[in-house]
Amino acid sequence: MATIIVQDEFDPKLPLVFRWTLGSPDVATEFVLPDRVKKIKVRFEAADGKFTFIGTDDTAIGTHHGSADADIWETIILSTLGSPDSKSVFLASPANATVVQILLEG
């Protein structure tokens, strides 16, 4: 999968929602977060998902990741992360072609 980058000039208003289909099972898709985002919500449709703030796009998700149940919005407040400078979230699912949604909030 390609890295997904939200340009700062894309839309200055939050919240923003993005929805796309992940590629191969357990392969990370990087979503680069705009600086102004303080909280994200992630939802994997019909299959469980994984997320982490360390990794590389288009590689296997590492052992240090969070898990999300299918069809549930998981809220992540970025200021509570060990590294508040995180600029990307890496998303994957053990199922093939899982649809994921991400909500960006200020």
DSSP state string for 21-75: E--STTB-EEEEPPTT--EEEEEEESS-EEEESS--TTSB--SS-EEE-TT-PEE
- pLDDT band for position 42 (50/70/90)? very high
- How large is the average pLDDT for residues 29-54? 91
Instruction: Write the Ramachandran bin of 70: left for phi over 0, alpha for psi from -120 to 50, otherwise beta.
Output: beta
Out of 12-16, 28-32, 49-53, 68-72, least confident range? 12-16
The CATH superfamily of 14-105 is: Jelly Rolls (2.60.120.10)
**Residue of 96, 74, 76, 88 whose CA lies nearest to 26:** 96
In this prediction, residues 16-23 reach a mean pLDDT of 91
pLDDT tens by residue, 49-86: 999 988 899 999 888 899 999 999 999 988 655 555 56
**Residue 62 confidence (pLDDT):** 83
- Listed by start position, the domains of the chain span 14-105
pLDDT at 11: 58
| Residue 25 clears pLDDT 90, i.e. is over it | yes
